[in-house]
Structure 1
Amino acid sequence: MDGTRITSKADWRCRRAETRELAERHVYGQKPAKPATVTGTVSSSSITVNVSDQGRSASFSAGVQLPSGTGPFPAVVVVGGLGADTSTIRSAGVATISFDPLAVGREGTPRNNKQGAFYSIYGASSSTGILMAWAWGVSRIIDVIESSGGNILRADAMGVTGCSRYGKGAFTIGVFDQRIALTMPIESGSGGVGAFRSIATESGAQPLSSAYGEQPWLGDAFSSFTGNPNSLPVDTHQMVGMVAPRGLFIMDNPHVDWLGARSGSVAALGGAEVYKALGAGDNITYWSDVQDGTHCAVRSEWRTPLQQNLQKFLLKTGNAAGTMRISSRKAGNLAEWRDWQTPTLTDGPGTTPTTPPTGGPSTPPTGGPTTPPVTTPPTTRPPTTPPVSGACSATVSLNQWTGGFVATVRVTAGSAPVNGWTVSMTLPSGASVTNVWNANRSGNTGAVQFSNVSFNGSIAAGQSTEFGFQGSGSGTGMSPTCSAG
């Protein structure tokens, strides 16, 4: 990775492989390729897995609960029996698979004597952490489903979910197996979705050294970065991007400081830029705007988006757009971390990739970032604005719900480059701006103005940049105008 920006989706496939290599080498440890022999059985109540490789063998099993109706069924792997609401999942017509991760990578063991099916094959002193061991285990379950004939479960419609430590596992599983169509980590905390660089600055969040030492979740190599995550060549916003364009529904709890939800939102916002670059911005949802602070509770706020994600990515019966609902209690500000703009990747051939489109988060200001405003960009892409004559133009796209909205504004240069811009608009009566990202704001109600920040003021002729804001009330009827300079 030498700083060359990628331009095509073909480039991204190579960039994703490079990012995976860095993540394995420095964060999780290696995930070995499919073993020489994987066999097993699938029934209406269980899955058995038998693995042989390098002259060693191991076995483990998982439970199955089918929904009513006639299969074969899509399925969601529930890591450790703790994840998204299983009754909602099965009511939607999706099976659940109860995966015991400790049978594959056991907690409570020293790093030089790791235990479980993974380490029975690859050695107790393997430097691979148990999160990656769990990911390896779920991949073997999918192998068995693929070879079973598909009469009971569908290997091409698999999801995964988990909460807390099992949320860390669910995230890792989804990142490292592209057969997972829908990844749903919940309250995964430090070592999960939360950006490492941000965790180090977030008051009350579990320190990286604590997460590394609590259990051998992360790979042994991560020990070099617990006190200096800025030296990592990769961060979790890039792992979020590795899931793209597949479905991703991240659920967070802003009421428990230890869980680092602010850092989770930073990673989600950064990774969402990869989704946008791939034209899949509607495929990611982040939701921390919840009332109940109980850890790993079943929450009513998540029921509808859970159903929508199951329908869209596993059942193929829906097409609801993803959304970003970030609690004001723990809201990350992506602008504090990024000095790059998001490309739109083409379908054609491009350059040999050397830098991920997300870039790496920059080192935060001395003393860490100040408490940011809520940053909640929608995933609904605004319409493309063709080049126009004159200085600049602006269009707005809305993602609304009862009592609130998110607006994405696209600023497009005309026939000449723009160096600095200001967008003006009048909000509807009763509407108020509560948060903004990628722009400076003047005013909260009525006539408001937004101007560029340092990294998005220069726009080439005919090209565009975007900013967004969240508001209360209704955003219907806004008509933005743009002036350059």
Structure 2
Amino acid sequence: MRRRSRVYAGLAAVIVPAAAVIMAIGAAPASAAVGGSGPYPADYETSASLANHTIFRPQTLPTERLPIVVWGNGGCSANGLSQGNFLREIASHGFLAIANGAPNGSGSTTAQMLTQSIDWAVAENSRQGSKYHNRIDTTKIAVAGFSCGGLEAYAVSHDPRVTTTGIFSSGLLNDADDYQLRRLTKPIAYFVGGPSDIAYPNAIDDWGKLPAGLPAFMGNLNVGHGGTYDQPNGGEFGRVAVLYLKWRLKGDTSAGTNFVGANCGLCRSQWNVQQKNLTLDGDPPPTTPPTTAPTTPPGGTPACTAVYSVQDQWNGGFVATVTVTAGTAALTGWRVTLNLPGGTSVSSLWNGVATGTSGTVTVANQSYNGRLAAGQTTSFGFQGTGSGSGTTTTCAGG
């Protein structure tokens, strides 16, 4: 259940000016930390082919390819410099960080702008004549955001190109949006400002609803909702974000030791840490869909059942959940067949591996939800186009 949702919803749209007031009470925001602390002094630029965005990059591109970080600002602000010190710090460690909004821009942003950033970076990496040609690692992409920007990150975290998601002082505002949690399949990290952070209850609520087996980290630093983004090099949030991105996007296991295990680096600091399903050398990839024929135990009892239900329906689309329950015997894997009516198709799916998008669609388990004890349940969900009614399901176990 969401707590303080109305208050958070009211402040989400104004968090940048609110944070500015908080900073003004104590001291003026620190001036820009030009270059950052990393080995590649960084600054920002704009591109005519990516309107209303701000691109933070090393001033001199290194020989190593740059992983991608796309960022939603606090308050969904269209000022791409809202968290400029923080993003410049990230870029100085060999990342391409793209913020929604033009430098000192005005107005509001949308989640679609994060997808535009990913599309642009992938295209520039392939474009002959681009200074980024073959200089970007398009296989390593983080989507992240602060406060309202974290909600934007959630909205596109199911993009199959995304490697990891970063939620900074944010959490879903309504239980109706929990389908965004159920469709998560890639590692996620939360960096929150402690119990005094207005987003704290929502972030904790999200943490408790993450899919079983999903690799996840949560760190709370008792600084409140404003974080440390305006401090030189983004302060402590900047330092920890760089470590997380080095681990997840560059495979730096030395950086990863700050997040994994009972004796992790942040576990021995001022951060309050929670962990789920973390391993230092990476997390198991999704399994290949089973190719075995459907099985039925002796006596004709189904190996599993699949119950389909529509969670939300609107003109032209819907969100549905399928609950898989093991029969009288344990399962090492399962496969659900969806028989979709004409005019209905699957546009995105989470917690399963799909084959096909319309007509007869087969959904197999992920690596983390295939093993079920007798009578145990798991679920997957999907967003579809068309009508949510009329779909039938069958389940086969392995």
Query: Smaller-chain TM-score range?
Result: 0.3 to 0.5
Q: Which has more helix, going by share of residues?
A: 1
| TM-score relative to the length of structure 2 | 0.44
